[in-house]
Structure 1
């Protein structure tokens, strides 16, 4: 029996200042459910995390959430998920999310989102996995991140192959088309 693909989503525990970020999270959750792809995420019910999970659930999708004990109150652990896991540490959370995903998607977010992104990018760079990594660049939110990656390679701190590991897309429609080819 083949299991449905799982997509790990890293995103903010806040909504951010642009309503387009919330709209992108809603569109992503709805698309994942429509395609039968499981959402793997940080199990919070706040910010973009909560938005993507509620959109996935509203469209009948499968949700897999992982939250560390220390963030349960702050991120309002969403207990009504298909699968709900509580870990002791953030590192365990990231590992469980990564291990249960076939692809990584990054929506707008803050320092935690960047931490998650750079960890899976580093793991990809050193050959620990070959999972695709997509950055949803809603209204140019991640333009500076793309510039930083360019600087890293231009200044000789990584090979140009670093760019092969990350796909920047501006819209959930393009993400869906790319994921369909890979999952």
Structure 2
């Protein structure tokens, strides 16, 4: 893997544990010589992971919509900063550049990014691993929701495995190397008994 896209909050969260986990992932990416692709911001968990990668000799590509760059939250000093026109272009560019995706704690925007990439995996638009770094059990409700969707048959059983859930960044990255994507989504027209 050459580059991993990380989705995460532009806030720091309620506990220092979230910042620590972002920094730990950043150090691990740099140690493995895996570049970071992220949203280009200097604040919150986004800024923390970028700083950790850069401080440990790694490469960081930020993808930032123009309207956010104008609000002066762009991280200065990245390896590369790509400016795009919209949030849609941002996600498309991050997907294009990345060999896998990791979701750290974040809010509604982070969830929107995660679910889009998860959906694209179901549809076969990519076959890249998707991880959830479950720091401090932040994503337990999301994992429960994914399981509930499968139990209620709104998510095909084979798609439970799309989200690689780990608390340890090194273990997650190890699992990325052995990831086998499920087959492309099939549509069931009638309930099978």
TM range (shorter): over 0.9
What are the equivalent positions in structure 2 for 1:29-68 lying under 5 Å apart? 29-68=26-65
Instruction: Give the one of 9, 21, 26 matched to 1:24.
Output: 21
Show structure 1 runs of 5+ residues with no match.
none
RMSD: 1.3
| Contact preservation (8 Å) 1:9, 1:41 | yes
CA distance in 1, matches of 2:105, 2:168: 12
Matches of 1:36 and 1:54, distance apart in 2: 15
What is the TM-score when the length of structure 2 is the normalising length? 0.89
Report the structure number with the largest CA radius of gyration.
2
* Corresponding residue of 1:131: 128
How far, CA to CA, are the matches of 2:70 and 2:21 in structure 1? 25
List, as ranges, runs of 4+ consecutive aligned residues in structure 1 with deviation greater than 6 Å. Answer: none
Q: SS at 2:102's partner residue? A: strand
SS of the equivalent of 1:127 reads coil
Deviation at 1:79, TM superposition (A): 2.9
Give the whole-Å Cα distance in 2 for the aligned partners of 1:64 and 1:12.
17
TM-score in terms of structure 1 length:
0.93
Distance 1:123 1:75, change over 3 A: farther
Please report how far the alpha carbon of residue 117 of structure 1 lies from its aligned counterpart in structure 2 after TM superposition: 0.2
> What are the superposed Cα offsets for residues 6-44 of structure 1, whole Å, 9 maximum, x if unpaired?
000000000100211101100011111111100000000
Once the two structures are TM-superposed, the CA of residue 74 in structure 1 deviates from its matched residue by: 4.4
Q: Which runs of 5+ in 2 are unaligned?
A: 180-193
How many pairs does the alignment contain? Answer: 179
